[in-house]
Amino acid sequence: MIKTFFDFCSGIGAGRLGLEQCGLICVGHSDTSRLADKTYMLMHNTANDKNYGNLKKLGKDNLPNFDMLIAGFPCQTFSVIGRQAGFSDDRGQIIFHLSRILREMAPKCFLLENVKGLVRHDNGKTIKRIVKELEDSGYSVNYKVISSLDCGVPQMRQRVYFVGVRKDISADLLNFDWPSVIQQPDLKDYVCYDKEITKENLDILKRYLMNPTNKGKYLINDLTQMNEKILDTRMNDLRIYDNKCPTLRAQRDGIYYVLNNQIYQLTGYEALILQGFPKEYADRVKESVTDRHLLMQAGNAMTVNTINLLGQSIINYLKKKEK
């Protein structure tokens, strides 16, 4: 049975919350972002743990024991949005430090997350190398692309999740039961209708509708008639969704939604809710962290619901192995 976990690449603690909802106890976390850690400390009860800092400097000499390792390791180097620099970028090296920590600390299991683009990066060579690295660290490994849309939040966030169990506990993970699909909830329950589009952003949106890709398709009046729609302006072409939000990202905002002929801007608070944070957690940071930083931090986070379901699947799997 597992009881404890360590939260690496912790960000604002979506992974922590998801595993705490499974009944597990966090014994510490590690992140180098001062702003993210401020949000983390405001959101979570951190009285009994600390930020251990740069994981490149961590190992058996300065880490507490833990049963499970969780990390959403840096994804920018593998994302289709970025340069896809992979292992040549320093951020792409984090996976090797995580595998080193696995070898040194030998927890019973791990859960890792990254962008869907990792699966096809360098024609599949990258993910094969990562799996081999994790297997050579003493773990049976399985992975799967899962959408947050299938885990109880109306966000189209596809991520690849790696599950690992120490080989002396399980020789393979062929019979690992991935979470079942949960019915998608209504987007209305995740937005607050409290930030109408600013004049500045409305002017930007008007110019955006006149770019070579969108020109002649829509006017502002057309958009205001699209009741209960999500508008995504982060690409050159306007993308319109019904009852679901596109993937939240750290570097660019530009998501709007329409209700009763009014265009609203998606706020950082709403982004946290769409990442599965309960409102009581989002309330703790709403007045203390800027809206822009919350948008960025939510875009970098994992989805709480997805981690909760995966954590429970891992716990159930280990229980079966013990029997």
Pairing of strands 255-259, 262-265: antiparallel
Looking at 80-171, which runs of residues are DSSP E strands?
109-115, 139-147, 155-156, 158-166
Q: Which of 264, 261, 194 is nearest to 224 (CA)?
A: 261
Q: Is residue 75 annotated as a catalytic residue, yes or no?
A: yes
* Cβ(264)–Cβ(191) below 8 Å: yes
Q: How far apart are CA 217 and CA 238, in angstroms?
A: 9
Burial 271-308 (b: 16+ CB within 10 A, else e): bbbbbbbeeebbebbbeebebebbbbbbbbbbbbbbbb
Residue that the structure tokens 């603690």 belong to = 13
Q: Which of 22, 26, 75, 151 is catalytic?
A: 75
Using the 8-state DSSP alphabet, how is residue 92 labeled?
G
Other beta carbons within 10 Å of 166:
17
Q: What is the dihedral of CA 116, 118, 119, 121, to 10 degrees?
A: 130
Burial of 77 (0-12, 13-18, 19+ CB in 10 A): buried
- Residues 228, 309, 98, 141, CA torsion sign: negative
Question: Which residues are known catalytic residues?
Answer: 75
